[in-house]
Structure 1
């Protein structure tokens, strides 16, 4: 994972914490390992940062890993001229500062040995155990000689699959990319651009989703400098011109400290400068910036309750901007982030944004999943065998009982806080994308979604979906490829088109055809936002170029589908007018064994009506002569039924179950809004045998709450 020479123009975002001198580390590394009783000088900074978070950590394993890494990389140099060992050292220091546990740091020191030296995975496993071996293997790139142009997307696929079993794999990759981005200056401009774009499209969104804000913000600034140099320079100059902006925030911070001290709330109040990209975004949003726009106040307290106590004091003693208030404690973000956000105005009108959180919330906000350590450690300690990992290092952790991929056990208890819904979805759909190009483009599209919604399933479960997802996406998220048979949906209790976009908190019930003969329509692709849905639909359409069978066609607008049903050709009608095309009237939708009559219409066609159809009476009154007609082959037919019922929960599900049990396919359905507690359901159905219609109608009448089922009568113009 080659990094490059330092880039003197790159922004340094660790304000208040001096950057370790990589050149000094390089000189220390050249001195070789230290004495047997102490750590080498080159790794002492890592040890110091590690002990700050883990005072009782055993550093012997780190010394052992450094000795192997230094000796195996000896003689290798980066393009900057630095000894190569400075790169794994720097990556490990980044992780140590964020609080990573010992196993992660051990693997970080060794993360390039298998890729770039003669060290083998078996050697790593023998000397450091299965966990370290798994992490090193997870971040080892695939060879271009074997994969060609597919090496990069397939490497990311491999890392993501490994991350699904152990999130520490991606932690190491993110730190690796951060150091490489810091030292990208000696690369050719075109290569800098390519690496920066992959960082923007893949690594930064992953850092955001894993909650590692400390890495995400610095990566954003480094990418900003490479891809938008003019805007970056403008922002840098703006920050330089407002170097005294911190004074305005410092004054408000002191007032806040006074208010909280008088209220008896122990708290630490800090001024946090915005990073480059954040300043750029605020400038685009607000235009001219005020001094207080260049940073925010951070209030750190001990307990959750103290957060709300601080909020109450601020809103009492200052003028709050209510529109800026957000409670991410009661409703945490999908990436584990928790905090209260507000904004207050001081007496002089200066407005300051304020973040309120506990120390633990702050640790997670900065380091995300890295702060959680290893969630599968047993009582024997953090180096114990990973739960559920079988031969070959693969694991089923986070799947829960029954193989669920949502990070919950069968009883609903979360077993893996580091495997959120978006990661489970990603791991599921990537298996359906064997083509590297499809995987790569789908991955970028998935990660481009910067917000997630939660919708409730009718069976009581939940689905995590990207913002803008439709019922089509929900169907594939819940049922996988069985969603091909989806014929409709009910959102918040009302029948809805599959194209309906879902919003946070919706309840969705998906209706599937029971005969399994359904298939998606090409226009489903217009409504699918998730890669899982798009890949599954695209694959089915490629395998069925002829399209879905009539019963399985994607639901059209309900009234249009019903009208079309009435105009279908009727290959089983036999009339006294040989050679004439025959169609069933849409006004009464006759089916065998109905008593029918027919009339000739313009164009030499014949329309068949039920005897009791009002249209027959009108046409007889106009002097139109009926034709003799009889039923021939009484095979499958289409009919429209109206069910009158009293509204109750589960009624639609019960009716559709009865219809499916009878072997009928729902072509279209309309559920009218309740009127005086009564509901009218209109179904256009495809029956495999017309003789089964009376049985079906009786079964529908037997559904609790249904008091009548009748054949539809549609008004029709005079023929």
Structure 2
């Protein structure tokens, strides 16, 4: 049971100097508490205690049926009767205040009904089955979603496991988290009666978990007030200094924002554009951030101008007029209408400068965009009804709804739900959740089939692999980014196209994740999957190929041949090691020291150097001899993985080709180069051999090697 109470001394947005929201004044919870003590009203009218809730609800939903709210209040008030908050207030004031917050944001009736009942199952004798019978499946689901797990059952893990339960429930219905955010806001407003250490603990969880969730769900009205309340508790000195800055600005009486707003109204009116121009004071944390960024603050730094229009096209019309009649600050322009943020936010951002140097930030959006910007998913109502209107059965309870195709379940939530299933323990889940929520920007990359994949900023190909394939990403051996081969550690940018290259082999030779992948993994899904594999294989991944030298060290890499008879009697013929020609390569030859004639491929750079040095060419041709042997040097380029060298040599052996020598360069950027000198019995078999080597998983190219010509030649 929540025990926090109203405390006039608690620092927060209600203190002098703090910015107040325009619109409906905050409700007096003490007055609501006294009304609640009067008991339920007659069944033919709503209790006075929820009159404010009804008023706020009807402002957004004029046709809403209020009977479910009536019955929910009666049950909540009677079940909580006798329970008090630490301040001495009747406990019913808490669910009433939470419901009022949601009503002012525009939540529909089902959400408000569940909000009134959200603590009944946790703190009273009311059962979930009773809620389900009286109010329907949806209300019961929402109440269950926000009901805490018992400490007696979970001990220290109760809080993180409650959040895990709540997030899973949110994955099916985002209204669960809407209720939790409003619940936390009211508890933060009334946290002053708690011990300082408990205030600090709750504030830190709010900062690390609830505020990022409010941001991701787009509920800016709750997020900004939560930020200010946390700021007051965790940084009281900086909070007080920021309050002083705001108070000093107000005392100066320099209302430049009002002057610029009036100028803009005239400009837009003359252009025939119907628009509201409003002043939006910054909340305390926003002022604090601007102060740290800019140093000395001017009048326009304490707020922004908001321009509201009816249609999307009008937003761009307003932008054009403002940029024509004022001096735009080009670097400040952002178009979140064409490219909305991942949390549903849409708006045009710009800034204009006055001749006196004042720079004013301006937001341009439609009224509907503004509603969503303030209330996020709460403004979308019930996502499971096609019309957006609440479906109710004849008894007034929320009934069964249509197919669940929730458009508000964003990519970040889907990813969170995926990795939390794999989190091995509560501590890992709790710490990883905070890390995940600390990533405040998302990028979109595309698969080769055109489908989108959402990832946090800074994500790599490793993250993309685990986002797409889950644990099967252990078999990823490389990637192509925008058509080019890339190492798995490559950081992706917004709009990149990613093709993941997967090993299709099964069994012991299948590839395994590398511990080095953890250095590139930014998403919890990738990190947890890699760590889980490493924990299950304490011996670690099987050893990769030896880097500097190959396990083969046979005869000299400089091949000889008798099947090339040159036009020089008695000469010893040797195939050049720099290009290792084989039939049917076009060849040329040059006399070198010791009566040796070196045979090169015509395209060999070594042959070109000999020509430029004035060496005379010697006529050469391929002889047709039985049992002749041909040597060739091939370069195989691949992604580094365990057993690659063994797989390549096996493929070569299966083609009936002997390996004279092999070298392997040290891996670089996750790639490795293998150089093989091979002896063939049939020169025509060369192309088939190269195809077989390319078919080895992880190998992306095989070609004829070009070496520097040996000094002896």
Task: Give yes or no for TM over 0.5.
Answer: yes
Q: Alpha-carbon deviations, 1:255-292, whole Å to 9, x = none?
A: 11111111111111111100000000000010000011
Q: Alpha-carbon deviations, 1:454-501, whole Å to 9, x = none?
A: 111122211111111111111111111111011111111211111111
Question: How far is the alpha carbon of 1:376 from its aligned partner?
Answer: 1.1
Matched, 1:200 2:207: yes
Q: Alpha-carbon deviations, 1:11-46, whole Å to 9, x = none?
A: 235422311000000000000111221110100000
Match of 1:150 in 2: 157
Alignment of 1:176-215 (within 5 A): 176-215=183-222
Alignment of 1:34-433 (within 5 A): 34-243=41-250, 244=252, 247-378=255-386, 382-383=390-391, 397=404, 415-433=405-423
Question: How far is the alpha carbon of 1:641 from its aligned partner?
Answer: 3.8
Question: How far is the alpha carbon of 1:106 from its aligned partner?
Answer: 0.2
Measure the CA separation in 2 of the matches of 1:515 and 1:685.
23
Measure the CA separation in 2 of the matches of 1:485 and 1:394.
42
Check conservation: 1:49, 1:93, Cα contact below 8 A: yes
Q: Per the alignment, do residues 233 and 271 of structure 1 end up closer, same or farther by CA in structure 2, a change over 3 Å counting? A: same
Number of residues of Structure 1 aligned to a counterpart in Structure 2: 605
Q: Per the alignment, do residues 615 and 48 of structure 1 end up closer, same or farther by CA in structure 2, a change over 3 Å counting? A: closer
Match of 1:7 in 2: 7
Measure the CA separation in 1 of the matches of 2:709 and 2:354.
71
Question: How far is the alpha carbon of 1:697 from its aligned partner?
Answer: 2.1
Higher relative contact order (CA 8 A, sep 6+): 2
Measure the CA separation in 1 of the matches of 2:49 and 2:411.
40
Q: Per the alignment, do residues 663 and 698 of structure 1 end up closer, same or farther by CA in structure 2, a change over 3 Å counting? A: closer
Secondary structure of 2:277's counterpart equals strand
Check conservation: 1:488, 1:497, Cα contact below 8 A: yes
Match of 2:521 in 1: 528
Check conservation: 2:665, 2:672, Cα contact below 8 A: yes
Secondary structure of 1:48's counterpart equals helix
Measure the CA separation in 2 of the matches of 1:46 and 1:155.
28
Match of 2:551 in 1: 569
Check conservation: 1:337, 1:364, Cα contact below 8 A: yes
Question: How far is the alpha carbon of 1:147 from its aligned partner?
Answer: 0.8
Secondary structure of 2:504's counterpart equals coil
Check conservation: 2:549, 2:664, Cα contact below 8 A: no
What TM-score comes out, normalization by structure 2 length?
0.79
Measure the CA separation in 1 of the matches of 2:187 and 2:436.
25
Question: How far is the alpha carbon of 1:565 from its aligned partner?
Answer: 5.7
What TM-score comes out, normalization by structure 1 length?
0.78
Measure the CA separation in 2 of the matches of 1:71 and 1:716.
95
Check conservation: 2:577, 2:707, Cα contact below 8 A: no
Check conservation: 2:277, 2:305, Cα contact below 8 A: yes
Check conservation: 1:641, 1:683, Cα contact below 8 A: yes
Moved more, 250-259 or 690-699: 690-699
Match of 2:566 in 1: none
For structure 1, list consecutive stretches of 5 or more residues without a partner in the other structure: 386-392, 398-414, 554-560, 571-581, 596-609, 624-638, 644-655, 671-680, 703-707
Check conservation: 1:153, 1:440, Cα contact below 8 A: yes
The correspondence for 1:518, drawn from 506, 511, 519, is 511
Check conservation: 1:114, 1:120, Cα contact below 8 A: yes
RMSD: 3.6
Match of 2:542 in 1: 549
Question: How far is the alpha carbon of 1:380 from its aligned partner?
Answer: 10
Measure the CA separation in 1 of the matches of 2:578 and 2:496.
43
Measure the CA separation in 1 of the matches of 2:434 and 2:150.
22
Measure the CA separation in 1 of the matches of 2:208 and 2:39.
39
Secondary structure of 1:185's counterpart equals helix
Match of 1:633 in 2: none
Check conservation: 2:114, 2:140, Cα contact below 8 A: yes
Question: How far is the alpha carbon of 1:511 from its aligned partner?
Answer: 1.0
Q: Per the alignment, do residues 693 and 27 of structure 1 end up closer, same or farther by CA in structure 2, a change over 3 Å counting? A: farther
Match of 2:40 in 1: 33
Check conservation: 1:111, 1:136, Cα contact below 8 A: yes
Measure the CA separation in 1 of the matches of 2:75 and 2:664.
68
Check conservation: 1:569, 1:584, Cα contact below 8 A: no
Q: Per the alignment, do residues 330 and 42 of structure 1 end up closer, same or farther by CA in structure 2, a change over 3 Å counting? A: same
Secondary structure of 2:341's counterpart equals coil
Match of 1:629 in 2: none
Matched, 1:438 2:446: no
Match of 2:455 in 1: 465
Structure with larger Rg = 2
Question: How far is the alpha carbon of 1:569 from its aligned partner?
Answer: 2.0
